[in-house]
Structure 1
C-alpha cells in the first residue's frame, strides 16, 4: 500500500511541477487598427476596416492588471466594416457587413444572420447563420455558413478559409483605445465616464 501511495504522490508532484514550468500562454492581441484586404475563394474582393474599442477591465483590479494584455483584450470589441469594391449584386451583399467581433476561444469571432445566405431551388433566398473567426497574428481565418433545412434545401455547413492582408493604418489614427473609465462598486451599478 505504501508503495502505491508513494508512486501516486510522486506522479502528482511531477504533474504539478510540469504544469508550473510550462510555457505561459501567448497573449491574444487585437489586430492593428487599419484597413485589410479580405481574400476568400469564390468571394469578391473586399476591404475590412478594423478598429478596436476597449473598456477598462475593472475598477477593482490591482494597478498592474491594467497593463496585462490578456486582461485588456477581455474588454475589447473589434469593430469591423466589410465593404466590397462593388456594392451591387447578391455576392457582394453577402460579404458586406458591420459587426462587432469578440475574443472567443482564442479567435476574434462574429456571428450574424444573412437574409440572402442561401439560394432556394424554386427561387428566392433563405437566411443563413454566418460566422467569421480569425487569429490576430497570422490574420488567417475561417468563414462558416450554416444553412438550416428550408425552402427545399437540405441542412448544411460550409467552411471556407480566408486571409487578411494589412493595407494601411486608420487615418486619423485611434487616439484612445480605452475611452470608457469605469468604477465598479460592490452592490451598485458601474459608473462609466
Structure 2
C-alpha cells in the first residue's frame, strides 16, 4: 500500500512539475504602430517604422472583431535588415525577404539569401534568420544564422495611420469597402 502511495505521489509531483515548468500561456499579440529601435545581440542597431493595416474580422456577423490576426504590419527597416510585411503566424509576427545578391562569391557571382524575421510583441524580442543553399561552386555549404534581437518603442510615426481603413456595413453581411 505504501508503494502505491509513493508511486502516486511521485506521479502527481512529476505532473505538477511539468505544469509549473511550462511558461505562461501565449498572450495575444499586439498590433504595433510607431518607430522602434531594433537592437541585435551582436550590437547592430537601427530604426523600424511599423505601419499597421487591418481589416475587421466579421465573426458571426453581429459585431466586427478587431483582432491582430486580420492585420499586416508594414515594417520599413534599415539596409542590414530588410523591410517586409509581417503577418501573425503561430503566435508571432513574421515575414520573409529574398536577397538576390545576399552573398557575393569569390568569382563575383551572387548567392541568394532568405532573411526571415520573427518577433513577439509581448516580450518585444525576436529572431533574424539568414539562410542560403550550398553555392559558390562548392565553396560555401548551406548555412543558417540565427541572431536574436530586441525592439524598443522610440516614438510615434510622423504621419498618423488609420489602422482600420475599411468601412463595414452596420448589419447584414458586414460587407466592407
Q: Which residue of 2 aligns with 1:108?
A: 93
Instruction: Say if 2:83 and 2:97, in contact at 8 Å, map to a contact too.
Output: no
Instruction: Say if 1:39 and 1:46, in contact at 8 Å, map to a contact too.
Output: yes
Query: Distance in 2 between the 1:37 and 1:99 partners?
Result: 16
Query: Distance in 2 between the 1:76 and 1:147 partners?
Result: 29
The number of aligned residues is 150
Instruction: Say if 2:93 and 2:119, in contact at 8 Å, map to a contact too.
Output: yes
Q: Is residue 158 from structure 1 mapped to residue 145 from structure 2 by the alignment?
A: yes
Task: Report the TM-score when normalising by structure 1.
Answer: 0.67
Matches within 5 A, 1:31-50: 31=32, 33-42=33-42, 44-50=44-50
Greater share of helix: 1
Query: Distance in 1 between the 2:109 and 2:80 partners?
Result: 15
For residues 121-175 of structure 1, the C-alpha deviation after alignment (integer angstroms, 9 at most, x for no partner) is: 433431111100000022110001111112231111111101111111113333x
Task: Report the TM-score when normalising by structure 2.
Answer: 0.73
138, 151, 167: which is aligned to 1:181? 167
Q: Which residue of 1 aligns with 2:13?
A: none
Unaligned runs of 5+ in 1: 1-22, 84-92
Unaligned runs of 5+ in 2: 1-23
Q: Which residue of 2 aligns with 1:4?
A: none
Query: How much has 1:178 moved relative to structure 2?
Result: 0.8
Q: Is residue 82 from structure 1 mapped to residue 67 from structure 2 by the alignment?
A: no
Q: Is residue 99 from structure 1 mapped to residue 94 from structure 2 by the alignment?
A: no
Query: Distance in 2 between the 1:29 and 1:127 partners?
Result: 32
**Alpha-carbon distance change, 43 to 125 in structure 1, aligned in 2, over 3 angstroms:** farther
* C-alpha RMSD of the superposition: 2.6
Instruction: Say if 1:56 and 1:181, in contact at 8 Å, map to a contact too.
Output: no
